[in-house]
Amino acid sequence: MRKKPKEVPVKPGKSYARFILTAVLILVVGYFLITKYLDNRPKEVNKNNTTNTTPRTEMPEPQFKKQGELSFISAKDKKEIRKIDIEIADSDSSRMMGLMFRKSMDDTKGMLFIFDKAEQHSFWMKNTVMSLDIIFINENNEIVKIHKHTKPFSTESLPSIKPSMYVVEVQAGFTDKYGIKDGDKINFTKQ
């Protein structure tokens, strides 16, 4: 006759503790893998041995395409203040891209965003390398809000405050340089 094997009593908490320990270990390893490989802010060490977390712009810089002209008109005397060449953003994809990844633009150029209807709009500077003046314009072509010297790469919301149908983006300092202010108007033509 064979002997019945001796039964070893299983402590109920022991297998549960192993499960918890394994789960915690998986979570910790997963966290480090995700933060190491999926962080979209590459870190570079500069010559001062400090870390730079500014996002890279790995896309090739888009080139300006003249699609029309835009004039800023003084509210005071109705005279033209400044005329610029414009690139037009009038589709969802072109409005979403805007001036992202552009490294520079002189004060003879800008981008005109055209929306289907006047409502409150808000812009941000994510993936935008250069500082801009962002000018919100209502359906009567009147400037209702200007955000000056915006911060590159910022995700801060820059709202129109009032309903706007158009937005013009120009290089930072443009509105101060030419004295453009709320109440002035625009006229534009498409090519």
Q: What's the burial of 89, exposed, middle or buried (CB within 10 Å: 0-12/13-18/19+)?
A: buried
For position 48, what pLDDT does the model report?
47
Residue 140 lies in a domain: yes
For position 40, what pLDDT does the model report?
45
Residue 16 lies in a domain: no
For position 57, what pLDDT does the model report?
46
Residue 108 lies in a domain: yes
For position 7, what pLDDT does the model report?
57
Helix (H) or strand (E) holding 96: helix 92-97
Q: What's the burial of 68, exposed, middle or buried (CB within 10 Å: 0-12/13-18/19+)?
A: middle
Residue 110's DSSP bridge partners are 86
Which residues lie below 8 Å from residue 75, measured CB to CB, with a gap of 6+? 142, 183, 184, 185
Residue 58 has which token pair?
A: 């790995």
Number of domains within the chain: 1
Residue 103 lies in a domain: yes
Q: Is 161 left (phi over 0), alpha (psi -120 to 50) or beta?
A: left
Residue 94 lies in a domain: yes
For position 51, what pLDDT does the model report?
45
Residue 137 lies in a domain: yes
For position 3, what pLDDT does the model report?
54
Among the listed residues 134, 123, 119, the one whose alpha carbon sits nearest the alpha carbon of residue 180:
134
**Domain range for 133:** 68-190
The tens-digit pLDDT sequence of the chain (191 residues) is: 455 555 555 555 556 667 677 776 676 666 655 655 555 444 444 444 444 445 554 668 889 999 999 999 999 999 999 999 999 999 999 999 999 999 999 999 999 999 999 999 999 999 999 999 999 999 999 999 999 999 999 999 999 999 999 999 999 999 999 999 999 999 999 99
CA atoms within 13 A on the CB side of 172: 13
Residue 155 lies in a domain: yes
Is the pTM higher than 0.75? The answer reads no
CATH number at residue 174: 2.60.120.1140
User: Alpha-carbon distance 125 to 166, whole Å?
Assistant: 17
Residue 144 has which token pair?
A: 């209702």
Residue 38 lies in a domain: no
